[in-house]
Chain A
Amino acid sequence: MSGRIGEIIQVSTTRILAQNDDLSVLPHFGSFIKTRSQGMTIYGLVFNVYETSIDPNRRAMAFGIERDELLRRQPQIAEFLKVEFEAAVIGFDDAGYIRAYLPPFPPRIHSFVYPCNSREVIDLTEDLEFIRSVNALPGLPVEELAAASIRLAYAERGNDSAFLTRAGQEIAQLLKDEYEKARSIIRRISDGR
């Protein structure tokens, strides 16, 4: 695997917290990531990204200078900052098949995190069952997340409008008891056409 973007620093069955290697690149909201642990590839969906001070007791201060200029003048500041992101666990690889449900165990801390390639994104979004698991997790911006991930999968498929229609129908089906939620997701994905 190549193109490492981070390292896991905290896990649970449903969520991964990872620290970014590179301050200059932030993982995209709604993008698909993977990690390999105990012989199994586990997939996640990035739902929260934050940049913070490395010392929990010291907050970053405002300098009144543009970020690029500040980092050029005082490069040591970068050493005191870190980027972390949270991802929801949405599936795993089982003997070559991607399963869109929770793996038997979470990845281990200090496993590396990589972005998913195009093939994996397409396989993971073949059906949109993962949105059901995401919807079940508390505290997630489900509407934004579902819309962002569908838009990404749509782009990976070369803007295939048949996929977008199918995705919309699945959203309507998955969230048929939550019409308002389905409606707002569908509105967001139809804007991307």
Chain B
Amino acid sequence: MAGKTKHIGSIIAGSLLGGLEAKLDEDINVEGVSVGRLIVVDGALNKFFCLLKDVSLEATNEDILLNPPRDDFSKMVHAGVNTFYKLSLQPMLITSQEPEAGDRPRPSTTVPPHFSPVCEATADDISLIFGEPGLTNPEIGSPIFMEVPVCLNLERFCKRSNAVFGKSGSGKSVLARMILGHLVKSDMAINLIFDMHGEYGWSATSEGSGADDPSLRQILGSKVAIFTVDADSPLYRKIRPDYDVQIPYGIIEIADLELAAGELGLTQAGIETMYRLHDAWGESKWLAKFLAMDAGELSLVVEELKVNDQALGKLHRCLSRLKRLPFIRKEVADDTVARIMNEIRAGRHIVFQFGRYNSMLSYILVANILTRRLHRLYVDKTDSARAEGIEGPKPLVVTIEEAHKFLDPAVARQTIFGTIAREMRKYNMVLLLIDQRPSGIDDEILSQVGTRIIGELGDERDINAVLTGLPGQGTLKVLINNLEPRQFLLTGFAPPMPVVIDAKEYGLFCNELRVGAGVIVDEIERRKSIDSLKASVFGDDEIVFD
């Protein structure tokens, strides 16, 4: 048995709906018992895995509250008799006391008897619930106050759209990077990461030390391809991007521009004018033609198409912003989407970077245009694969930051991201949303999010939003309110029960991934010593194990 069972109390009341109540043992210091802990109740036949959702002060006698004991001796002798601490527990999972091989914990459907012993969960309990660390079940952290791995079942994870929420500084990017790293390593799905802030490609600045942490390309080497719209960025001094992306005007659709309406300053009249131009000049030509026009030509258009000249002028000014994005061109050498599909077929993962053009406008446009076309391809391929009864394209996880910009209630119904989130895994495409403002995301989309990894959130509205569609929101809300930076609540589809974790150290993750998950510690240490030896001989340049 790894870790000794520590008895902390006994069950005194409760119900399956409202949760269990336990009296804390007198010799346990209440200040050491904090909300979010995993607790095990030993019933007669079953073990109940519960979440500690509240701790309260109780008195058996009104008089003691009116005349509280003053000296320490009196407080001590009344403790446990006239005053006691009550733990509120939410039963989550249940497993037999004598499990047979292959028994997995299942949702709790009953309660333990009176006075059942209440204990802290041990390492064995945690690994029974979350499984042993492995390639497709990587460790992403440990339960708060415990040094035991909590693993994420990647197979389940890839079956739904997922989200990592947390305000800036909560550590969500680092955790997301770790999860993406494990996804890449395990090849459970192909990743397409729209990396707005340049964190998932070569290196990322660590918030703690300010130094550069290695990112996916360094850790996973050639499995990760870097696509960029800004190949001349100083980012790429150490490593050349694999592909310099250019987007022709011809593939930009009105829906793409509508999504970026806020960034472009488009009005409703402008959008309607766009449709007129689109109908008159053709789907692939209108934008290039319109942007090439000068003031004189515009007035001809007003007469020809009977559009409002002010609306047309404003639209022209708004869309002219696109000209400032050098990666959007009239003519391009080859098709980015085809390139991406080739990489996907080759099993490589793509980090899409924006370099100096990391404005919301370019991010939204590029992510939307590419994902829409990819989705179309995926739908075709999946459908034809189904018709022929062969295996469909590899599952694709599309990671988007600032997800609320794409999934705003006003636009979520039209954008491709809304469609992907709603249709779940039908076409082998799911989303990984990374966002700090979940309240900006459409409710319908939120309720479709499978696994939610929730970090510190300040705003009450954001907290309510991330819990949309989940059972036991009251309990989870308490847990979210108590999160600290680098602590996350893991809930939803992939984890068998909600759990608050301390995210894994990024350094440990890097070491583990470079030599492969599950490799003995000696091997990691051996590699580390080679690493430092090489570093001292050759300097700190790229050293990749692959």
Contact of B73 among A173, A180, A193 (CB under 8 A): A193
Chain B residues within an 8 Å CB radius of A177: 61
- Identify which of B60, B63, B71, B80 contacts A180 (C-beta below 8 A): B63
Q: List the one stretch of A4-12, A52-60, A182-190 in contact with chain B.
A: A182-190
- Most chain A CB within 10 A, of B63, B64, B78, is at B78
Docked complex Cα distance between A164 and B71 (Å) = 14
Complexed CA–CA distance, A172 and B84 (Å): 13
The chain A residue sitting closest to B64, CB to CB, is: A179
Complex contact A179–B80 (CB within 8 A):
no
Contact A168 B67, CB 8 Å, known A176-B61, A176-B81: no
Q: Is the CB of B61 within 8 A of A179?
A: yes
Interface check A171, CB cutoff 8 A: yes
Q: Give the residue name and chain of the A residue nearest to B80 (CB).
A: A169
**Do B78 and A172 touch across chains, with their CB atoms under 8 A apart?**
yes
* Minimum-distance CB pairs A-B, first 3: A168-B77, A179-B63, A172-B81
Which residues in A have their C-beta under 8 angstroms from that of B81?
169, 172-173, 176
B300 at the interface (CB under 8 A from A): no
Is B82 interfacial (CB 8 A cutoff)?
Answer: yes
Q: Pick the contact of B71 from A169, A176, A182, A190 — CB < 8 Å?
A: A190
A182 to B81, CA, bound (A): 11
- Please state if A168 and B80 are interface contacts (CB–CB under 8 Å): no
The answer to whether A165 and B77 have CB atoms under 8 Å apart is yes
Interface bracket on B = 10 to 19
Q: Tell me the interface secondary structure of chain A in the complex.
A: helix
User: Does B478 belong to the interface (CB within 8 Å)?
Assistant: no
Per the bound structure, the CA–CA distance linking A177 and B67 in Å amounts to 14
Task: State the Cβ distance, A185 to closest chain B Cβ, in Å.
Answer: 10
Q: Does B74 contact A (CB under 8 A)?
A: yes
Residues in B lying within 8 Å of A, measured CB to CB = 60-61, 63-64, 67, 69, 71, 73-74, 76-78, 80-82
Q: Mark A85-128, 1 if CB is under 8 A from B, else 0.
A: 00000000000000000000000000000000000000000000
Say whether B82 contacts A176, CB under 8 Å.
Answer: yes
How far in angstroms is the closest Cβ of chain A from B81?
4
Q: Kindly provide the distance from the CB of B16 to the nearest chain A CB, expressed in whole angstroms.
A: 31
CA distance A187 to B82 in the complex (A): 16
Q: Given the complex, which residues of B lie within 8 Å of A187, measured CB to CB?
A: 74
A179 contact from B67, B76, B77, Cβ within 8 A: B67
**Minimum CB–CB distance for A173 against chain B, Å:** 5
Instruction: Give chain A interface residues in 111-152, CB to chain B under 8 Å.
Output: none
Contacts of A190 in B (CB 8 A): 71, 73-74
Residues on the A chain within 8 Å of B73, using CB: 164-165, 168, 186, 190, 193
Q: Which of A32-87 contact B (CB under 8 A)?
A: none
A172 touches B63 (CB 8 A): no
Contact of A183 among B60, B67, B76, B80 (CB under 8 A): B67
Are A171 and B69 touching (Cβ within 8 A)? Answer: no
Known: A169-B81, A183-B67, A183-B69. A176 touches B60 (CB 8 A): yes
CB distance from A176 to the nearest CB of B (A): 6
Q: Specify which of A165, A171, A176, A182 is in contact with B76 (CB 8 Å cutoff).
A: A165
Give Cα A169 to B78, complex, Å.
Answer: 6
Contact at B77–A186, with CB atoms within 8 Å? yes
Tell me which residues across on chain A come within 8 A of B61, comparing CB atoms: 176-177, 179
**A186 & B74 in contact (Cβ 8 Å cutoff):** yes
A190–B77 CA distance with the chains assembled, in angstroms: 10
- Tell me the bound Cα distance from A177 to B77 in angstroms: 15
Query: Do A179 and B74 touch (CB < 8 A)?
Result: no
Q: Tell whether, in the assembled complex, residue A183 and residue B74 are in contact, meaning their CB atoms are under 8 Å apart.
A: yes
How far does the alpha carbon of A187 sit from the alpha carbon of B75 in the complex, in Å? 11
Nearest Cβ on chain B to A68's Cβ, whole angstroms? 40
Q: Which residues of A contact B76 (CB under 8 A)?
A: 165, 168
Residue in A164, A171, A183 whose Cβ sees the most chain B Cβ within 10 Å = A183
Complex: A73 Cα to B546 Cα, angstroms: 113
* Contact A179 B82, beta carbon cutoff 8 Å: yes
Residue of A nearest to B62 (CB): A179
Interchain residue pairs with CB less than 8 A apart (26): A164-B73, A165-B73, A165-B76, A165-B77, A168-B73, A168-B77, A169-B80, A169-B81, A172-B81, A172-B82, A173-B81, A176-B60, A177-B61, A179-B61, A179-B63, A179-B67, A179-B82, A180-B67, A182-B82, A183-B67, A183-B69, A186-B69, A186-B77, A190-B71, A190-B73, A193-B73
| Chain A residues whose C-beta falls within 8 Å of the C-beta of B77 in the assembled complex | 165, 168-169, 171-172, 186
Complex CA–CA separation, A186 to B69 (angstroms) = 10
Rounded to whole Å, the gap between the CB of A144 and the closest CB of chain B is 18
The smallest C-beta distance from A145 to any residue of chain B, in angstroms, reads: 18
Chain B's closest residue to A193 (CB) is B73
Distance in angstroms between the alpha carbons of A71 and B77 in the assembled complex: 48
Point out the residues of chain B lying under 8 angstroms from A165, CB to CB.
73, 76-77
CA distance A171 to B76 in the complex (A): 12
